């Protein structure tokens, strides 16, 4: 089955700097890669996703890149702000079969003022 | 903003009690899921459903059971709670359109079994 590895587990950056979180996956049939943000006391919320027919997707300060050959994808947050502090999860899924999301281990991002 | 609700939000209960965690969504989604999330953050799928009268076990073995009698409702039951069941339980739902779709999560139920 699919296995998703996420790094780093914790990340601390200065406000205004960029943050990068990386994930690798094992199942070459996976073709859907969402990123979720989980704030304290809340459920995860989708912040951006990418499908395998696209190499990069951007939404304001957030971007995701996908390298299908190497089987890794990354989340980039630019001009970080205190409200970006949260736990971030990557996930992978395939369109066929059970279509279950397999999550990475999570990254706790702290933005220092 | 996803319309998926979980009750209770917090539950403290003694060992041996039967509990039911409620999850409902108003989006008409066919697929629903239950995840268990430990303090170490990782999310583990314990149950999922593709529609009414469909339930499947997830990747992490769980002593809980689920039912799907109505599209909008996916309750999780523990017949006899134990301290090892202490965790956060997250419910999610997604559309079924023949391809992988976004899962929308509820706020979670934090369970403490004494």
**Which has the higher per-residue pLDDT, B96 or A17?**
A17
Q: In terms of C-beta density within 10 A (0-12 exposed, 13-18 middle, 19 or more buried), how is residue A10 classed? A: exposed
**Cα separation of A84 and A58, whole Å?**
16
Residue A11 has pLDDT above 70, yes or no: yes
Residue A96 has pLDDT above 70, yes or no: no
**Cα separation of B108 and B88, whole Å?**
6
Best mutation target, A11, A43, A50, to test chain B (most B CBs within 10 A)? A43
Residue B1 has pLDDT above 60, yes or no: no
Residue A46 has pLDDT above 90, yes or no: yes
Q: In terms of C-beta density within 10 A (0-12 exposed, 13-18 middle, 19 or more buried), how is residue B39 classed? A: exposed
Residue B99 has pLDDT above 70, yes or no: no
Residue B2, pLDDT score: 61
Quick check: B1 contacting A, CB < 8 Å?
A: no
The structure tokens 């809980």 sit at: B64
| Residue B57 confidence class, pLDDT cut points 50, 70, 90 | very high
Quick check: B97 contacting A, CB < 8 Å?
A: no
Mean pLDDT, residues B41-56 taken together:
92
pLDDT digits (tens, 9 = 90+) for B19-38: 999 999 999 999 999 999 98
Residue B109, pLDDT score: 97
B108/A42 CB distance under 8 A: yes
């Amino acid at each position: 089955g699919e296995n998703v590895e996420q790094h780093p587990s914790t990340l601390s950056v200065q406000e205004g700097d960029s943050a990068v979180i990386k994930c690798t996956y094992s199942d070459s049939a996976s073709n859907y890669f969402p990123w979720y943000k989980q704030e304290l006391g809340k459920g995860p919320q989708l912040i951006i996703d990418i499908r395998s027919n696209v190499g990069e997707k951007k939404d304001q300060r957030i971007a995701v890149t996908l390298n299908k050959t190497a089987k890794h994808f990354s989340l980039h947050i630019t001009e970080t702000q205190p409200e970006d502090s949260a736990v971030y999860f990557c996930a992978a899924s395939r369109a066929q079969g059970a279509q279950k999301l397999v999550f990475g281990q999570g990254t706790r991002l702290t933005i220092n003022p | 903003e996803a319309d998926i609700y979980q009750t209770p939000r917090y539950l403290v209960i003694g060992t041996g009690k039967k509990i039911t965690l409620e999850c409902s969504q108003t989006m008409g989604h066919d697929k629903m899921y239950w995840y268990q999330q430990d303090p170490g953050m990782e999310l583990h799928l314990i149950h999922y459903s593709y529609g009414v009268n469909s339930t499947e076990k997830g990747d992490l073995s769980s002593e809980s059971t689920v039912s799907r009698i109505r599209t909008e409702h996916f309750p999780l039951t523990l017949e006899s709670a134990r301290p090892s069941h202490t965790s956060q339980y997250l419910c999610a739902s997604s559309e079924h359109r023949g391809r992988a779709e976004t899962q929308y999560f509820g706020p979670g139920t934090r369970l403490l079994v004494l």
